[in-house]
C-alpha cells in the first residue's frame, strides 16, 4: 500500500491507496487536528494502527513551504520534518516530502472529468505549460511545466508576491492592509481565507458598510468564511456580497497574472477549498472578466482553458502517485504497472 498525506497548519489529512488496473484505489483516509500532536510521526502511527500489519512500501507527504534536501521546518506548527529520519522511524523504505502545491499538481492527471469544472473552455486541444493557483487557508501557486510527455509540477511561493491593486477601491484596500499589518501586503492577504476576512473588515471599517447585529452574531458563532460565502452568493447581505465580488475579482486577476508568467497555453487550474464552495459566484463572470483584463494580452488569455478542481483529495492523489513513481525509479518495480492485468 501507499501512504499519502496532506499536511497543513491546522490539520493533517492521511490516506492509504493501492492500485487496480493501473489506477489509484482509495482504501481509507482520516483527518487529524495537527495541534494535538508533537510531530507527524505520531499522527502516522495513530492512523496506521488498524493497518499496522500491512506493508506500506512507499509514502509521500505534501507540506506547506519549500522542501530542501528532504527537510522542512513548518511555520505554523513547531515541527521539523526530515524524510530520512521519518523513513527509519516508521520503517517505510521509500518516504518523500514535497511541497503541497507540487502534490496538487501531481494529482491533476489522476482526476476524472467529473472532478473538474470547466470555467472557460478556451482551446482545450492546446498543449503546453499550465499553472495552478489554490486559494484556501493561504494562497499556493505552482507551475506545471510541459516537457513534451507530461507536466512536471514546480512549486513556488508566488502567493507571497506583492499584492497589485487595479482599481481605486483596491488601492484603498492595500492602504488599509498596510496600516493593519504594518508590513508586507501579499496576494495571500487578499486571495485566501485570510483575505476574505480582510476584505470584509475593510468594507465594514474603512468603507462604512453596514454589519447588522444578526450578521455580526453569525460571524462570531460560525466559520466567518462560510458565512461570507453563503450570504454573499445568496445576496442576503450586501456586505458579504461586496466582499465576495472583490475577492473573486482579485482571484481572477492573480490567476491571469500566473497564466501570463508561465504562458499557460495548456490552461490554468484553481485548487484549494474556496473555489468549489463559491462555484456559483465563480461562474457569474466576475472572475473571468478580471482574468482576461490584461490589455494587449487578452487575446492570448482567451485561448487558455480555466478549470476548477472539485476533488478535495487531489493533493493526496498526487502524493500517492509521486510516491509510487519515485519508489519505482529506485526499486525498478512499478506497482501501478503490476496492477494491470491483460486478458
Tens digit of pLDDT for each residue in 19-35?
A: 988 999 999 999 999 99
Q: At CB < 8 A and 24+ separation, what contacts does 294-298 make?
A: 294/256, 294/260, 297/260
Indicate if 232 and 179 belong to the same structural domain: yes
307 closest CA partner among 150, 152, 149, 112: 112
Give me the sign of the Cα torsion angle 52, 61, 128, 325: negative
How far is CA 197 from each of CA 194, 205, 253, rounded to the nearest angstrom?
A: 5, 12, 19
Q: Indicate the angle between helix axes 314-331 and 100-107, nearest 10 degrees.
A: 90
Distance CA 216, CA 14 (A): 35
Residue 343 domain flag: no
271 touches 130 (CB < 8 A): no
Question: 89 lies in which domain range?
Answer: 2-107+313-338
Indicate if 153 and 244 belong to the same structural domain: yes
Q: What is the CATH number of the domain that holds 138?
A: 3.40.367.20
**Per the structure, how many domains does the chain have?**
2
Tens digit of pLDDT for each residue in 180-213?
A: 999 999 999 999 999 999 999 999 999 999 999 9
Distance CA 306, CA 295 (A): 18
Q: What is the CATH number of the domain that holds 80?
A: 3.30.420.40
Q: DSSP 3-state assignment of 268?
A: strand
2 touches 17 (CB < 8 A): yes
Residue 60 domain flag: yes
**pLDDT for res 51:** 61
Distance CA 324, CA 303 (A): 34
How far is CA 76 from each of CA 32, 64, 138, 331, rounded to the nearest angstrom?
A: 15, 9, 12, 35
Indicate if 20 and 54 belong to the same structural domain: yes
Indicate if 7 and 146 belong to the same structural domain: no
**What's the DSSP call for residue 78?**
S
**pLDDT for res 76:** 78
Indicate if 160 and 221 belong to the same structural domain: yes
pLDDT per residue as tens, the chain (343 positions): 999 999 987 899 999 999 988 999 999 999 999 999 999 999 999 999 866 556 899 999 999 888 999 999 987 788 999 999 999 999 999 999 999 999 999 999 999 999 999 999 999 888 999 999 999 989 999 999 999 999 999 999 999 999 999 999 999 999 999 999 999 999 999 999 999 999 999 999 999 999 999 999 999 999 999 999 999 999 999 999 999 999 999 999 999 999 999 999 999 999 999 999 999 999 999 999 999 999 999 999 999 999 999 999 999 999 999 999 999 999 998 989 998 876 4
Indicate if 26 and 175 belong to the same structural domain: no
How does strand 268-271 pair with strand 130-135? parallel
pTM reported for the whole predicted model: 0.93
Amino acid at each position: 500500500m501507499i501512504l499519502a498525506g496532506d499536511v497543513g497548519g491546522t490539520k493533517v489529512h492521511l490516506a492509504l491507496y493501492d492500485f487496480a488496473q493501473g489506477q489509484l484505489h482509495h482504501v481509507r483516509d482520516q483527518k487529524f487536528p495537527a495541534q494535538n500532536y508533537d510531530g507527524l510521526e505520531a499522527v502516522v502511527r495513530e492512523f496506521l494502527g488498524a493497518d499496522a500489519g500491512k506493508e506500506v512500501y512507499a509514502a509521500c507527504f505534501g507540506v506547506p513551504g519549500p522542501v530542501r534536501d528532504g527537510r522542512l521546518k513548518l511555520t505554523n506548527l513547531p515541527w521539523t520534518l526530515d524524510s530520512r529520519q521519518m523513513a527509519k522511524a516508521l520503517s517505510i523504505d521509500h518516504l518523500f516530502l514535497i511541497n503541497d502545491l507540487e502534490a496538487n499538481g501531481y494529482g491533476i492527471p489522476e482526476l476524472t472529468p467529473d472532478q473538474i469544472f470547466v470555467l472557460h473552455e478556451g482551446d482545450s486541444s492546446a498543449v503546453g505549460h499550465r499553472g495552478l493557483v489554490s486559494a484556501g487557508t493561504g494562497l499556493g501557486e505552482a507551475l506545471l511545466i510541459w516537457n513534451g510527455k507530461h507536466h512536471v509540477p514546480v512549486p513556488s511561493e508566488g502567493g507571497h508576491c506583492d499584492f497589485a491593486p487595479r482599481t481605486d477601491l483596491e488601492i484603498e484596500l492595500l492602504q488599509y492592509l498596510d496600516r493593519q499589518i504594518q508590513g508586507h501586503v501579499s496576494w495571500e492577504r487578499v486571495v485566501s481565507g485570510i483575505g476574505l476576512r480582510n476584505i470584509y473588515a475593510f468594507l465594514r471599517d474603512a468603507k462604512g458598510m453596514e454589519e447588522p447585529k444578526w450578521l455580526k452574531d453569525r460571524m462570531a458563532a460560525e466559520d466567518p468564511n462560510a458565512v461570507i460565502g453563503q450570504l454573499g452568493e445568496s445576496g442576503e447581505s450586501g456586505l458579504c456580497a461586496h466582499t465576495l465580488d472583490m475577492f473573486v475579482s482579485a482571484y481572477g486577476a492573480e490567476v491571469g497574472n500566473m497564466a501570463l508568467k508561465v504562458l499557460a497555453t495548456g490552461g490554468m487550474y484553481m485548487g484549494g477549498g474556496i473555489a468549489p464552495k463559491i462555484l456559483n459566484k465563480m461562474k457569474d463572470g466576475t472572475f473571468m472578466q478580471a482574468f482576461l483584463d490584461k490589455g494587449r494580452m487578452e487575446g492570448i488569455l482567451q485561448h487558455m482553458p480555466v478549470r476548477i478542481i472539485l476533488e478535495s483529495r487531489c493533493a493526496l492523489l498526487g502524493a500517492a502517485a509521486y510516491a509510487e513513481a519515485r519508489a519505482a525509479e529506485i526499486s525498478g518495480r512499478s506497482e501501478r504497472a503490476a496492477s494491470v492485468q491483460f486478458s
